[in-house]
Amino acid sequence: MTALVTPVAQSRSSVRAERPQRMRLSTQRRLTGLLLSLPALALVVGLVVIPIVQAGYYSMTTWNGITSTWIGPGAYTQTFHNPAFWQVLTNNGLLLLSVPFALAIPLLIAVLLHERVRGWRFFRSVYFLPTAISWVVIGMVAERFFAYQGPLDKILGTHTDFLGNSSTALLSLAITFVFSMIGTNTVIFLTGLATLDSTVQEAAFVDGASRWESFFHVTLPHLKRFVQLAFILTVISAFSALFSLIFVMTGGGPGYSTTTMEFFVYQTGFSQSQFGTAALYGIILFVMMAIVGIGQLKVIRSE
Amino acid sequence: MSTLSVPLAPPAPPRSTATRVRRALLFLAMVVVAVVMLYPFWFMISTSFHTEAQYQSGHGSSLSSWTSLTATIPIGQQLLNSTLICAASIGIILVVSVSAGFAFAKLQFRGSQGIFLALVGAMMVPLQSILIPEYVNVSRLGLTSNYLGAILVYAALGTPFATFLMTTYFRGLPDELIEAAVVDGLSYPATLWQVALPLALPAIATVTVLQFVQIWDDLLVGLLFLQNPSERPITVGLAVLASGRTTSVPLLMAGSFISAVPAMAVYLGFQRYLVRGLTLGVGK
């Protein structure tokens, strides 16, 4: 800048000199932001979003891996006439009945741990330990546990093959599922209890509330968001994480008595090579999950 | 408490016997729960020290399933496969989720909110819903005949939650920190690398531990996207053996125990990161 420029001009020109710099910085920021988010976006679009669109298309065809015929939305009405489909859907519904147990038992355990009895840290680790092992491994142990003349038969004094019997197979699966969820849900509730202000509880006691009353009127309302989290996690798991257990324990049988929608997709696609129908079941599963997710969002928003 | 009590004497709580009985009962209840929760481990270990015949009859013990383990199940190779697949998938997940998380939290651009929501929304899509097209696409690209197919699928499935977690974490860092670095002349990528990344190590640990346990323990992806049996991870190898129902139970249990050790070690060592990941998003 020359000395001839008046102060006014000088300040004006310095603004002019600064503006492109600032513009460049914000452009740079936006551009970097876009570029940095692209790899994640590409990965998820390529391997999740595009396939879900494809699944929607496949679901309306009779594709067996080699030949494919377009049926259109009629494929769905055809499915609704398939009794196996309804049995599978019923199994999913019945498994939902295990969700209260998968929440209540961990809640009780968390409350026990929160009493901070001697060694509670050790017990906490022990209770969470099964969470680390694969449901494949849990399923293998459970298969022996429920087997004919297995440990459960000995405990109950019965002679039943619990997994081979269509009236007890799903219940056995549900019990294994509840067991598998205990560690995760206990930790969620325990984290929630740790945030509880103990003075509030003491105040309740001073006011003459019983342990029971203080639990239902102070503790439980406080844990609401943690219960919601455990609930959604448990329902998602019931719908989409049982594959390992079913694969190892029953293979979906006897008949369709332990086949859930997620296993039905695998079975239909890879045992029967009906890719089109399998894709359709996948879409149904997606809709089920979406209903749970949207329901959950509504509950959270309404608060 | 009376004001006359000697300060050093322990305060005698009223109904101390009742309290003591209550504590003892609580302790007993916790022991009972511990027995139930440890049952799978006890079953695996005790069963593995039998032969098949001994397991059926319930008498005697033997080391045979441990000595013949490596001859029957390619456990070394499978552990290596698991490690390789976990490492590669987690590597990809970390790179894409850290950079995307930083972008969504600190480098807002037009549409960043929408892209973020779309990515997080992908969490609601279970693999089974897209299983058929995913399998067809990946095998048409020839990726099921090597590790790459499974690695990419794991990476894509893990990315939405990891991105959500990283974004939440980076949002907690003050904007001034980033601005100061940029004013000092650092480019945005350099700011991420030199300023934000070192601060994000706890979140990175959380993502790593969560994903490790998840991928190590998974069955479905490894079962379908690794067509070559010699590339199977240990969990998949065991599940396939178990479903064949020809392998002896003690042997399977020995293998299961081995497969569980790394995940248990990671879990016990990094428990607090797992817990943080599980309860993220719930108010404090």
Q: In this structure, is residue B274 part of a structural domain?
A: no
Shared-domain flag, residues B85 and B221: yes
Long-range Cβ pairs for the range B29-33 (8 Å, 24+): B29/A112, B30/A112, B30/A113, B30/A117, B30/A119, B30/A120, B30/A123, B33/A109, B33/A112, B33/A123, B33/A127
How confident is the prediction along chain B (284 residues), in pLDDT tens digits per residue? 444 444 454 444 555 788 888 888 888 999 999 999 999 999 999 888 888 777 777 777 778 778 888 888 888 899 999 999 999 999 999 999 999 999 998 888 888 889 999 998 898 899 999 999 999 999 989 888 889 999 999 999 999 999 999 998 898 888 888 888 888 888 888 888 888 888 888 889 889 988 998 999 999 999 999 988 889 999 999 898 888 767 788 888 899 999 999 988 988 888 777 777 777 655 43
B224 lies in a domain? yes
Task: Give the domain CATH number at A297.
Answer: 1.10.3720.10
For residue range A263-297, list pLDDT tens digits in order. 999 999 988 888 989 999 999 999 999 898 888 87
Grouped pLDDT means (10 residues each) for chain A, 303 residues: 43 47 73 90 93 91 81 85 92 94 94 85 88 91 88 85 87 95 91 79 71 80 87 91 92 89 93 89 93 82 72
CA dist B170 and B191 (Å) reads 13
Asked whether residue A277 is domain-assigned, the answer is yes
Tell me the nearest-neighbour CA distance from B170 into chain A, angstroms: 13
Q: Specify whether B34 is located in the same domain as B102.
A: no
One domain for residues B47 and B107: no
Nearest CB among A113, A136, A229 relative to B239 is that of: A136
Residues B99 and B226 grouped into a single domain:
yes
Return the structure tokens found at A271. 């045992």
Residues A95, A88 contacting (CB under 8 angstroms): no
Q: A293 in a domain, yes or no?
A: yes
The answer to whether the CB atoms of A265 and B96 lie below 8 A apart is no
pTM of the model: 0.86
Residue B5 confidence (pLDDT): 42
Same domain, B157 and B194: yes
Whether residue B53 sits in one domain with residue B80? no
H/E element holding B21? Answer: helix B16-48
Residue A40 lies in a domain: no
Residue A31 belongs to a domain: no
Residue B60 within any structural domain of the chain:
yes
Which residue segment(s) compose the domain that A181 sits in?
Answer: 84-301
Distance CA A107, CA A102 (A): 9
Q: Do B152 and A119 touch (CB under 8 A)?
A: no
By Cβ distance, the residue of B34, B217, B253 closest to A133 is B217
Mutation target vs B (from A54, A126, A140; most B CBs, 10 A cutoff): A140
Q: How many CB atoms lie within 10 A of CB A27?
A: 12
> Are B106 and B237 in the same domain?
yes
Is A62 among the domain residues? no
* Domain ranges, residue B129: 74-246
Residues B170 and B198 in one domain: yes
User: How far lies B129's CA from each of A19, A53, A172, in Å?
Assistant: 51, 10, 25
Residue B283 inside a domain? The answer is: no
According to DSSP, the residues that pair with A61 across neighbouring strands are A70
Whether B144 and B45 map to the same domain: the answer is: no
Answer yes or no: is B162 within a domain.
yes
What angle is formed at CA B58 by the lines to CA B57 and CA B61, rounded to 5 degrees?
110
Quote the number of domains for chain B: 2
- Where is the domain boundary, B67, B95, B129? B67
Q: Nearest 10 degrees: CA dihedral of A25, A26, A32, A35?
A: -140
CB contact under 8 A, A43 and B253: no
Q: φ, ψ for residue A257 (rounded to 5)? A: -70, -20
* Together in a domain, B81 and B180: yes
In a domain, B251, yes or no: no
* Residue contact A289–B124, C-beta within 8 A: yes
Residue A23, pLDDT score: 55
For residues A28 and A119, give the distance between their C-alpha atoms in angstroms, rounded to a whole number: 55
Number of domains in chain A: 1
